[in-house]
Amino acid sequence: MPVISMFYGIIIRMYLLDTQNHHLPHIHARYAEYEASISILDGVVLAGELPRKQLRLVIAWIELHTDELLADWELASAGELPYKIEPL
């Protein structure tokens, strides 16, 4: 599960070949003991939870990098390593 970005103590990952649990393009965000799967398309939390402030930061980051995230999703879905994306 490659790390694609880190900012403000939040680690963003995208699992390789991760289309079985959530069929939507998504990322995994971790902050301290919290972790959530978040849709790239609309910022909806698919599973887990993050504190409100960190969730807002992740959603803002997704909005800024949606095209890059979708390109990375295609790579990860094919089993290839996604590219790193600039932090917030």
- pLDDT tens digits, 57-80: 999 999 999 999 999 999 998 889
pLDDT in tens, 26-36: 999 999 999 99
**Where are the chain's structural domains?**
3-77
pLDDT at 1 over 90: no
pLDDT at 20 over 90: no
Report how far residue 65's alpha carbon sits from residue 44's, in angstroms, rounded to the nearest whole number: 15
Report how far residue 30's alpha carbon sits from residue 75's, in angstroms, rounded to the nearest whole number: 21
pLDDT at 17 over 90: no
pLDDT at 22: 59
DSSP string covering 44-70: -EEEEE--HHHHHHHHHHHHHTHHHHH
Predicted TM-score (pTM) of the model is: 0.91
Six-digit token string for 78: 């094919």
